Structure 1
Amino acid sequence: MTIHQAPARSVEQKSTGGFAIEAEDLVKSYGEVRALQGLTFSVPAGGIFSLLGPNGAGKSTTVKILTTLSRADSGRATVAGHDVGRQPNKVRRAIGYVSQKSAVDPEATGVENLTLQGQLYGLRGAPLKQRVAELLDQFHLTAEGGRLVRTYSGGMQRKLHVGMGLLHRPSVLFLDEPTIGLDPEARAEIWQEISRLATDEGLTVLLTTHYLDEADRLADRIAIVDAGKVVVEGTSEELKGELRGDTVQFEFAEPPNAELVNRVLSDQDDAMSEIKIDGRVLRARVGNGATALPATLAALTAAGATVAAATVSRPSLDDVYLRYTGRAFHNTGNEVPR
């Protein structure tokens, strides 16, 4: 299988700077498991950059290296102009980090959580009180600030966690799976606040996610990560624009005979390409899905294949992932131990 690499950046762009994050050939292993295999990407200052990939792709390992919580076996990385390996303290002062697992203390109030976070960064007195009040207001938690966090909803706890990452006014914010486990309404609220941070405050946000819609909705640029490497990078529209035509998908009652299916598809007037069979599901690309779908469905049925469902759609990030990795976007749940 051929992996298509993202277009090379110009020498001028590299030499003039302007990148808030640069990762070059990062390698990291946990025992015999290779979590990162030469991962490379750069994040321009300002805006939202997403590392998109299924569980176990290496996203959280990357963030832990960039936030100085782990060391790469080899490779180089800079954040906010500071070398992650040689200047970890400068990196820590320049960044905010919101991990997958909540760092809030459920037995403390919202005010107490924010205050402690500020004290860790050396804030005291009136400036600290003012900053805590600002963040509670910003995340619509003023009325709940005096309550114990264990009484908060999941969405409220997550907003407080993001607020803690912003308390010292970082220039780069790392959000590792920020909406995992949240209901749709809470997700939408977090999305709105992330967008505002980048748009109104000029913050650089690195967002890791395994939600296709989240990356599509929020990110200015997306790097798709698979097996510890970036396989393609670009804006959502650029990535989807590389895929011509439509995606057709057939779901069979039982796994189909690959030889039979390929023969039927090759006989159609509108030739299909990038044909992939995954269990009971067949996906392919075609010039005009609206006309190809009914004709292909009829031909498959006539050949003895039992089709349970058939759909046609415009290109999506799932299709992009399929093209560059050779498989559909699935989350296995097999995360590398952290």
Structure 2
Amino acid sequence: VKNDLVKTYSGGMIRRLEIACAMLIKPKIMFLDEPTIGLDPAAKKVVWERLNFFKKEYGVTIFFNTHYMDEAELYADEIAIINRGKIVARGKSEELRRSLGGEIIAFTVDKATIKPDLIQNIRKLSFVKDVFENGNLSVLVSDAETALPRLIDVLKDEKVSVERVSITKPTLDDVFLKYAGTRVEEKGRISDVTHMRTMIRKG
């Protein structure tokens, strides 16, 4: 491989080479644009092990942006979520998850049965804190035990076909969806996530 031209390398190999070149000069600050995109899980792990060693050994501050929330959770000391060029939320992972409060009731539904105004109607319910539409239907509530039967009734009345229900604490994915993900806003407009990125500050 060492005698091959770089243009013959795979995308993952080129990505690792770029990071290695950046580390050679031992910078005080590194800016990485989606450093593990195109890498398989094993290669991702190796990259982050090297970056963490580099950070501890040389005191380097690393800024990186990613759409992988698991990377943000595992490797970022501080996270900033950017929506259309502006920071809309910032803090440690635990702080951001706590900022949502309550519990998430996630419904796997038949998308064909969802009416255009369904999410707005659910959001108007007094016990609902927020609603996210990310392929499924996720509802943020203070108390899932009391909210679930009422939500089931609403979905039945709306003739929505529910395939599966789960209850979890808010995750970093939920935080991202609240502040910068695809969601129906008050005017019913679907936000465009193409221009939304998560900027992670590590260091």
TM-score interval for Structure 1 and Structure 2 normalised by the shorter chain = 0.7 to 0.9
SS at match of 2:100: coil
> Aligned match of 2:129 in 266, 273, 281?
273
Deviations 1:193-240 (A, max 9, x none): 222222232111111112222222211111111111111211111111
Deviations 1:12-67 (A, max 9, x none): xxxxxxxxxxxxxxxxxxxxxxxxxxxxxxxxxxxxxxxxxxxxxxxxxxxxxxxx
Deviations 1:97-147 (A, max 9, x none): xxxxxxxxxxxxxxxxxxxxxxxxxxxxxxxxxxxxxxxxxxxxxxx5445
- Whether the aligned pair in 1 keeps the contact of 2:82 and 2:88 (CA below 8 Å) is yes
RMSD between superposed Cα atoms in Å? 3.4
Q: Percent identity?
A: 36
**Consecutive unaligned residues in structure 2, runs of 5 or more:** 184-190, 198-203
Q: Are 1:189 and 2:51 matched, yes or no? A: no
Q: Are 1:256 and 2:115 matched, yes or no? A: yes
2-structure distance, mates of 1:257, 1:285: 19
Shift in Å, 1:266: 3.3
Shift in Å, 1:276: 4.3
Report 1 or 2 for greater relative contact order, CA contacts < 8 Å, sequence distance ≥ 6. 2
TM score, norm. by length of structure 1: 0.47
SS at match of 2:36: coil
Shift in Å, 1:294: 5.5
TM score, norm. by length of structure 2: 0.74
2-structure distance, mates of 1:290, 1:200: 48
Shift in Å, 1:274: 1.2
- Whether the aligned pair in 2 keeps the contact of 1:264 and 1:299 (CA below 8 Å) is no
Deviations 1:46-95 (A, max 9, x none): xxxxxxxxxxxxxxxxxxxxxxxxxxxxxxxxxxxxxxxxxxxxxxxxxx
Which residue does the alignment assign to 2:172?
Answer: 317
Deviations 1:251-297 (A, max 9, x none): 43222353697369838xxx22113457x643221123356446533
**What one-letter code is carried by the residue in structure 2 that aligns with 1:307?**
V
2-structure distance, mates of 1:190, 1:164: 13
Which residue does the alignment assign to 2:64?
Answer: 207
State the structure with more CA Rg.
1
251 and 238 in structure 1: CA distance in 2 versus 1, 3 angstrom threshold: same
Which residue does the alignment assign to 1:288?
Answer: 143
SS at match of 1:242: helix
Which residue does the alignment assign to 1:307?
Answer: 162
Per residue, is there more helix in 1 or in 2?
A: 2
**Consecutive unaligned residues in structure 1, runs of 5 or more:** 1-143
2-structure distance, mates of 1:308, 1:272: 21
- Whether the aligned pair in 2 keeps the contact of 1:251 and 1:308 (CA below 8 Å) is yes
**What one-letter code is carried by the residue in structure 2 that aligns with 1:201?**
Y
- Whether the aligned pair in 1 keeps the contact of 2:108 and 2:163 (CA below 8 Å) is yes
Deviates more, 1:149-158 or 1:255-264: 255-264
Shift in Å, 1:244: 1.0
> Aligned match of 1:167 in 20, 24, 34?
24
- Whether the aligned pair in 1 keeps the contact of 2:84 and 2:195 (CA below 8 Å) is no
